[in-house]
Amino acid sequence: MSKIEQHSKPLTDIFIRQLGDLFGDRLHFGEAMRQQHGSSESHFDTMLPDAVVFPHSTEEVVALVKLCVAAKVPVVPFGAGTSVEGNVTPVCGGVCIDLSEMNNILSVNPEDLDCTVQAGVRREELNEYLRDKGVFFPIDPGANATIGGMASTRASGTNAVRYGTMREAILSLRVVTPDGRDIRTSGRARKSAAGYDITRLMIGAEGTLGIITEITLRLHGIPEVISSAVCSFDTIDGAVDTVVQSIQLGVPLARVEILDDVQMKAVNLWSKLNYPELTTLFFEFHGSETNVKEQIEIVSSVAADNGGGDFQWSNLPEERTKLWRARHEAYYAALGLKPGSVGWPTDVCVPLGRLAECIQLTKADLRKATIPATILGHVGDGNFHVIFVLDPNNPDDLIEAESLNTRMIERALSMNGTCTGEHGIGLGKQDWLKKELGETVEVMRTIKRALDPHNLFNPGKIFSFD
Amino acid sequence: MSKIEQHSKPLTDIFIRQLGDLFGDRLHFGEAMRQQHGSSESHFDTMLPDAVVFPHSTEEVVALVKLCVAAKVPVVPFGAGTSVEGNVTPVCGGVCIDLSEMNNILSVNPEDLDCTVQAGVRREELNEYLRDKGVFFPIDPGANATIGGMASTRASGTNAVRYGTMREAILSLRVVTPDGRDIRTSGRARKSAAGYDITRLMIGAEGTLGIITEITLRLHGIPEVISSAVCSFDTIDGAVDTVVQSIQLGVPLARVEILDDVQMKAVNLWSKLNYPELTTLFFEFHGSETNVKEQIEIVSSVAADNGGGDFQWSNLPEERTKLWRARHEAYYAALGLKPGSVGWPTDVCVPLGRLAECIQLTKADLRKATIPATILGHVGDGNFHVIFVLDPNNPDDLIEAESLNTRMIERALSMNGTCTGEHGIGLGKQDWLKKELGETVEVMRTIKRALDPHNLFNPGKIFSFD
């Protein structure tokens, strides 16, 4: 459905032979495999890579990169394929590096509160592995993404309000650069003032500056008590103000999600639930028993002052899962509003004090629209999503969504916000990046040209090379 | 006392005239002024800049940068001059840009928990200004540094265990780049996935990639209760284990500082106090009354299990200040151990689980040394300082300190730590940076060459250009 054309040139026989020597039966040219690595979770056109490889080590990635750079063939890293801005669409063809078989957990140091994993480890598997060690990895973008992919898009999600984003969660990276170097960007110390922050430069670079192969993550002790709560509000303002005031009061909310009335309706239909079809907040509190009790008391009282209804709450694991089910199934529930539809999840992030107004105005637009669209967001960060529900056979749907998206992003930028809180730029938000950051994009381009002079690392993403 | 030679070439008459046209009586060539901007707080030789200017706006910095780049004259940004690794020593001469007169607080948004300040604002003045707005800026490196300087060295200090370092504290920067661009690296949203993290690239770059002129900072609500406590331990292990176990239990310590027996002795002498001359922890707890009470209960009980003595504690402002006086005066107290001495404060940072061992081994070295040396540290980050107390007229002192420093850094690196937790690289730690990060330094150098091709922005810092 997008308007971007693919430009690729065929691989040479000699290059194909060299690839085969390196990867043997882990080199694929089959249509189905290429389809799977060229399609998008959202509304972007599928574009096929010329080949797909499954490396098992950083050394293999180095060898591959050297081969590709010598032959001027693009490389596109691929994790779980759950990004939504066309971040891994191979617009110039080339070799897709699927890192999913680099999925070893290399070390866990509970006493240092850190671990090191290969890029293909998925976050749910990691947390399963960590559970009996008393520690956990908090970042939860919804999808069961790979840690490498989450690093590359600077992902965040529901826990970021308390635990930060991938930017804060990563201590160090192992990266293969376009000149074939195998670097470690930092040690395992919790802070360092040792030169340029190459770790943070690679986080969010979407594979355009290097291929992340290993990640050292900060972990957190599993809280003594985890408690979940759900509360409905008559107004969006009431819900947002409840969160902002709680944060100002210093309540260390672990998660706080907003779902609008349309999203709640979709969830009730999809998951056979019977929540009030009103703006709803989903909370999670972490801490000691006393502390969680106090947090809930403060938030309940703030909510009551802001027109909130009763708190449904629980601290038993199964009940918590049930309570949060509405939030976890939100995306598929939204798609359920129109059978056979395609979803386009977009997001913006604004300063906290502007969030209520930004959601209100966006919602006023959506009410007038013909396509279904739901709102859900990570209120504590000032970040919210709109999921546009599109008929893939009706081009007018996409046109309408584009216009709504434009209005929403322009509004967020006018409030000093960003065109993307957590999905990255990919293909979808390049024009907005320029509008948001102006000449800062020239600084990015200068860095890209210096580190990847032939534009071979995930080319065509974030900004144009020339 | 350092061995680095200055290389500078005289300014031309025409350049001096152009500078004068721009800055009028804010352009200085006087010896005293140049001395003040070329001397170091620690053991580095004084080197004079050729001129000192005091800009009042980003536009003036842009004009100056264009002038200097055209004439190939180096520029060295200067804040409060409190850095300790020779970070602003003008090793190639040139123009020192003193930003202290760019000291306006441009906006405070308590509802967004952020503010924007010019680079020359000092942290104590900022917090004084913020006090009646119910918010505060937590980063406290000890010295009353400028916010611009703190950004440039990626400073942290006593509060980082809870509130993070300058890396986490900054939302956005206004920066003048070597090609004379005036860029803003981000909006004011609390998170963003919009392209390369130029904000973080500039933080800790020590002015080698751009001159920071404005900073947008995250703020925090002033806690309902602030409580301080002091506790002595028979062993270093006992003190460090108390902190690590408390963090693992999820206690959100706001500050926790370790002072060794030598440092406590120095403090007693200097500040006329009578603390036990043992390893001592200084704590600060932030939260609601219930929450702070609970934190203190947990930490007291952990401390008792680890051989800690009684807690002296207070939550009244004046008493807290008195209690913490020992910590705040630590540096000057250390210098007091040898009248007429020069201090060399160095630091390393290691994974939490290795901290006790690292301090123990360092202390064993110091016990055998002839020069006085104290240890104090930000235990919650795995970060500690040694202050070497040197006789400036005895070259053997420096030689001994260098050898002790070498052993300490090698030890920290062998533990997967860093050669600098918070002081930056400057002149003093360039060899260690290479040892710590290997080829990652090549990536840094490539970025430097791309953004500052004539090596004019604070040249000679962090790594060699060629």
Residue numbers in A near B298 (CB within 8 A): 288
Q: Are both A328 and A431 inside the same structural domain?
A: yes
Residue numbers in B near A207 (CB within 8 A): none
Write out pLDDT tens, residues A282-309.
Answer: 999 999 999 999 999 999 999 999 999 9
pLDDT band at A7 (very low <50, low <70, confident <90, very high): confident
Asked if the model's pLDDT at residue A4 lies above 80, the reply is no
The rounded distance, in Å, linking the Cα atoms of A312 and A424 is 34
Please report, for the domain that includes residue B118, its CATH number.
Answer: 3.30.465.10
pLDDT band at B1 (very low <50, low <70, confident <90, very high): very low
Q: Is residue A93 part of a domain?
A: yes
Asked if the model's pLDDT at residue B2 lies above 70, the reply is no
Q: Share the mean pLDDT of chain B.
A: 95
Structure ipTM over 0.90, yes or no:
yes
How far away is chain A from the Cα of B221, in angstroms, using its nearest Cα?
Answer: 6
The rounded distance, in Å, linking the Cα atoms of B50 and B391 is 29
pLDDT band at A3 (very low <50, low <70, confident <90, very high): low
How far away is chain B from the Cα of A178, in angstroms, using its nearest Cα?
Answer: 10
Residue that wins the pLDDT comparison between B101 and A3 = B101
Cβ distance B197 to A195 less than 8 Å, yes or no, reads no
Mean per-residue pLDDT, B232-246: 96
Q: Are both A295 and A239 inside the same structural domain?
A: yes
Write out pLDDT tens, residues B27-78.
Answer: 999 999 999 999 987 889 999 999 999 999 999 999 999 999 999 999 999 9
Please report, for the domain that includes residue B292, its CATH number.
Answer: 3.30.70.2190
Helices (H) and strands (E) in chain A, counts: 17, 18
Res B314: pLDDT: 87
Domain count, chain A: 3
The rounded distance, in Å, linking the Cα atoms of A1 and A346 is 15
Q: Within 13 Å of residue B103, how many CA atoms lie on the same side as its CB?
A: 18
Q: Are both B113 and B95 inside the same structural domain?
A: no
SS3 content of chain B, % helix, strand, coil (to 5): 40, 20, 40
Asked if the model's pLDDT at residue B323 lies above 90, the reply is no
Mean per-residue pLDDT, A115-132: 97
Q: Are both B124 and B199 inside the same structural domain?
A: yes
Q: Count residue pairs from A and B with Cβ separation < 8 A.
A: 301
Write out pLDDT tens, residues B256-278.
Answer: 999 999 999 999 999 999 999 99
In chain A, pLDDT over 90 holds for what percent of residues? Answer: 92
Domain boundary among A63, A85, A100: A100
Please report, for the domain that includes residue A64, its CATH number.
Answer: 3.30.43.10
Residue numbers in B near A111 (CB within 8 A): 244, 248, 352-353
Res A378: pLDDT: 96
Q: Is residue B451 part of a domain?
A: no
Residue A65 belongs to domain spanning: 13-100
Q: Is residue B77 part of a domain?
A: yes
Res A1: pLDDT: 43
The rounded distance, in Å, linking the Cα atoms of A307 and A310 is 10
Q: Are both B111 and B212 inside the same structural domain?
A: yes
Please report, for the domain that includes residue B340, its CATH number.
Answer: 3.30.70.2740
Q: Are both A241 and A377 inside the same structural domain?
A: yes
Mean per-residue pLDDT, A383-387: 97
How far away is chain B from the Cα of A251, in angstroms, using its nearest Cα?
Answer: 9
User: A266-280, B311-325, B359-373 — which is least confidently predicted?
Assistant: B311-325
Residue numbers in A near B288 (CB within 8 A): 250, 294, 298
Write out pLDDT tens, residues B145-164.
Answer: 999 999 999 999 999 999 99
Res A358: pLDDT: 98
Q: Are both B321 and B366 inside the same structural domain?
A: no
Give which of B109, B190, B243, B286 to mutate to test A binding, by max A Cβ within 10 Å. Answer: B190
Asked if the model's pLDDT at residue A262 lies above 60, the reply is yes
Res B3: pLDDT: 60
Residue numbers in A near B301 (CB within 8 A): none
Domain boundary among B168, B194, B221: B221
Q: Is residue B3 part of a domain?
A: no
Domain boundary among A221, A242, A269: A221
Please report, for the domain that includes residue A296, its CATH number.
Answer: 3.40.462.10
Name the burial class of residue A338, with classes exposed (0-12), middle (13-18) and buried (19+) by CB atoms within 10 angstroms of its CB: middle
Write out pLDDT tens, residues B164-202.
Answer: 999 999 999 999 999 999 999 999 999 999 999 999 999
Q: Is residue B465 part of a domain?
A: no
Smallest Cβ–Cβ distance between A447 and the set B134, B196, B220 belongs to B196
Residue numbers in A near B139 (CB within 8 A): none
Q: Is residue B6 part of a domain?
A: no
Q: Are both A311 and A338 inside the same structural domain?
A: yes
Q: Are both B231 and B211 inside the same structural domain?
A: no
The rounded distance, in Å, linking the Cα atoms of B133 and B400 is 49
Cβ distance B189 to A433 less than 8 Å, yes or no, reads no
Q: Are both A63 and A187 inside the same structural domain?
A: no
B147, B127 Cβ separation under 8 angstroms: no
B388, B370 Cβ separation under 8 angstroms: no
Q: Are both A125 and A178 inside the same structural domain?
A: yes
Give which of A196, A212, A217, A415 to mutate to test B binding, by max B Cβ within 10 Å. Answer: A196
Q: Are both B94 and B134 inside the same structural domain?
A: no
Q: Is residue B18 part of a domain?
A: yes
How far away is chain A from the Cα of B268, in angstroms, using its nearest Cα?
Answer: 31
Asked if the model's pLDDT at residue B80 lies above 90, the reply is yes
Cβ distance A113 to B248 less than 8 Å, yes or no, reads yes
Q: Is residue B8 part of a domain?
A: no
How far away is chain B from the Cα of A273, in angstroms, using its nearest Cα?
Answer: 32
In chain B, pLDDT over 70 holds for what percent of residues? Answer: 99
Write out pLDDT tens, residues A434-462.
Answer: 999 999 999 999 999 999 999 999 999 99
